[in-house]
Structure 1
Amino acid sequence: MLRLVRPLVVFDLETTGTDTVNDRIVEISILKIFPDGTRETKTRRLHPGRPIPAGATAVHGISDADVAAEPTFKQIAKGLLAYLSGCDLCTFNGKRFDVPLLAEEFALVGLDFPSWDTSVIDVSDIYRILNPRTLAAAVTQYLGRDHTQAHTAEADTAATFELLEALAHGPLAQFLQTNDQVCADELFCPSGLSDFGDGVHHGHSRAIRIDPAAKMIRNPEGIIVWNFGKHFGQPVTQSDPGYINWIMGKDFAQTTKLTVRKVMDRLLV
């Protein structure tokens, strides 16, 4: 059993999307472990104050009808903050998503979270330490040898191509045979890669990223749409000129800005 000095709250969120600033919580589940080993589990659905996108419902199964009679975050915020007070936090990938999104929800109702003395344990960080996602680790796992010249550009380049060949004709090919819905954020294959590029892009009814940062995707209907923010899911070509100018003036990747121009000029359809 873990030795705890103060209660540990393990929590997970289901949300309207993946934007930690603009998306909202539709469900929060908390497992609270006390230093004496006692456990409490609480789960609450919330009305996000906006429609839940179909894409989000497809992930977590929560629809607008499911939360129609549920309270808003504002209505439960003070009680939730009191319940979390004096606790440390534990999540999986929460430092990048759950914690900042929950903090944003509290901030929107004028509450400060987390407190300065809160420790956050992210189990995904522990997992990555124990299972390194480096080129050297991949070479050992899939090519069966040590990458002895790691971080020399020529050796890294050669090893990367060896990995591509090994994965394309082995694990990836097998994976794609049984998994139609490959997330655009996990796989970005140019259509010119004949071994599996065409199958990934055209053989499955899923979203395809348009720019490297995945700010735009091609939806299953073949339409290029926004993949973030308040215009999530809306066709890029129908955007207000002011929104396009806002993107051009903000700190988005240059590749994203160039791709936006191509889409708006109908050079990419």
Structure 2
Amino acid sequence: MTTHTLKLKKPIAFIDLETTGINISKDRIVEICIAKANIDGSVEVKTKRVNPGMPIPLETSLIHGIYDEDVKDEPTFRQMAKSLSQFLDGCDLAGFNSNRFDIPMLVEEFLRIDTNIFDLKNRRFVDAQKIFHLMEPRTLGAAYKFYCGKTLENAHSAEVDTLATLEVVCAQVEKYEGVKMKDAAGVEYEPVKNDVEILHKLSSNNLVDFAQRMILNNKGEVVFNFGKNAGKKVEDVLTKEPQYYDWIINNDFPLDTKRKLTEIKIKMKR
């Protein structure tokens, strides 16, 4: 039975997705694996194939090995959304590159169905890739070899990648807890601890929306992270260029980005 060594106050769900592509707004999930690490050290694993309701491009199938024929009789995401939401209820979320891809993609799928079915409030987000790239810049396979001393077989299988990521985070905590670094000002600090709150801050310290169209600058202000307004405060842009909000809302941006931008706009009016 799979176990873990993380010190938890609530379960943390490690997620890996295989999809039709990498466009968060347009592509869809074809396989999802969740390894839920519980407070008692046990791990529950659920792996599901998903009918994406659209063709899987051949070049994508050649990467993860899932073809249209493999998912034609599987349930759609809409059909499994309620049970997935229940399984993830009360969990923090984690993965490998999960803040940039897996979690945003999962959030988009839920938002297409119901904006209230999957609540992200009071959740922490731990990205093993962020920790890895800070401490040992490489790939998941190299991370697994480096931290766990094993070769990652069958990479791009959702369950293999998910369980490998869980092992990597456990090994990262064991290796780096107590290791000190210096920040830009030369102040010594300890970035990694066996505490999901600390790992969340390390992984998601400037996160606003999952697609990172907006981020927090070093002053804690929400700024745009793309295009002509990159680096500019969102509130300033919306005040000076109110049409910029409409442009984002009416174009091909992730639903999560639109929701977060709308929340900022509503807050400005209070």
Q: TM-score, normalised by structure 1?
A: 0.49
Who wins on radius of gyration, i.e. which is larger? 1
